Amino acid sequence: MILTHKKMLLIDGDEGIRKSLSLFFGSRHCRLDTVENGAQALKAVSTEPYDVILCEELLPDMNGLIFFKIVNDRCCDAIKILISWYGNNTAFADIHGKGIDFLLTKPFSGDDVEAAVIKLVKARSIRNGSDCT
């Protein structure tokens, strides 16, 4: 599977989402580290390089857009996905040009997240000229 060698980080204040996605990706033998706030995420990205970072827009201690702005240079190669609530005013046009690759809206399923990440990994692989299978 394309994601088994990718290191992913999920930053979300909702414990249920962190647990369910951990179980979902764990059952697929994929590594998904989870943290609940921006401070923990900043520590995580300072000690480990991640291939994919999924960050909730409204974290308990900071805005996800600010988090990505802070880490953009450090994690320039990572695929960055902003998680927002359906109906929120954030649109892809708002995040385009800010180093964020995709806007994922809640509610979502593990399958939705997996499909988005796979699509982005494949697109990045094609752009970089490497085979991702």
70, 63 contact by CB (below 8 A) = no
What's the pLDDT band for 130 if we cut at 50, 70, 90? very low
Go through the domains of the chain in sequence order and give each one's CATH number: 7-127 (3.40.50.2300)
Taking 80 as the threshold, does the pLDDT of residue 103 lie above it? yes
Range with lowest mean pLDDT among 58-62, 72-76, 120-124:
72-76
What pTM did the predictor assign? 0.89
What's the pLDDT band for 126 if we cut at 50, 70, 90? confident
Q: Give me the DSSP letters along 34-93.
A: EESSHHHHHHHHHHS--SEEEEESB-SSSBHHHHHHHHTTTTTTSEEEEEEETT-S--HH
Q: What value does the mean pLDDT take over residues 100-127?
A: 92
Q: What value does the mean pLDDT take over residues 109-128?
A: 91
32, 5 contact by CB (below 8 A) = no
64, 21 contact by CB (below 8 A) = no
Cα(62)–Cα(54) distance, rounded to whole angstroms? 14
Q: Tokens 């990994």: give the residue.
A: 121
Taking 80 as the threshold, does the pLDDT of residue 116 lie above it? yes
Cα(87)–Cα(20) distance, rounded to whole angstroms? 23
Q: What is the pLDDT of residues 67-86, one digit of tens each?
A: 999 998 888 889 999 998 86
Q: 3-class DSSP state for residue 32?
A: strand
127, 106 contact by CB (below 8 A) = no
Q: What is the structure's pLDDT at 90? A: 60
